[in-house]
Amino acid sequence: MYVCATASLPIAASLILAGVSPGAAFVFLSAGPATNSVTMGVVKSLLGMRALVIYLSVIVIGSILFGALIDMGFNTLSITMNVNLQEEHGIVEESAAVLMLGLIGWHLIRGLFQKKEKSCNGGSCCS
């Protein structure tokens, strides 16, 4: 299944929250964006069918191998994944939000406070 790199992160996080192993989520993260049909078409047209087969083989073997290693690491080190779904924020986050909104507002209204330059309506502006 193809998915772009930007959309694959929240999908992988949802998979992990649903109980999928971190190694399987890694396989999804690494193989999904790398198997773009446009990329495969470019590899095939520029480098040939042999290079495309090697490209896909490396993606499949590498993803499964590293996914298995990640799962073995999680099992060996007894790493558990605890997720806190409550939103927490403090004074730093609130201040940053107010500052960002102020800067955005200033950017939107700063044109009202700038003087307009007079333009010449004919002839040279230098005279």
Q: Which two tokens stand for residue 107?
A: 């950017």
Helix (H, G, I), strand (E, B) or coil at 96: helix
Mean pLDDT of 51-76: 92
Q: Tell me: the pLDDT tens digits for 25-49?
A: 999 988 888 888 888 899 999 999 9
Q: Tell me: the pLDDT tens digits for 66-76?
A: 999 999 998 88
The answer to whether residue 22 is domain-embedded is yes
The answer to whether residue 49 is domain-embedded is yes
Q: Does 127 have pLDDT greater than 60?
A: no
Q: What is the model's pTM?
A: 0.59
The answer to whether residue 88 is domain-embedded is no
Domain count along the chain: 1
- CA–CA distance, 88 with 1 (Å, rounded to integer): 35
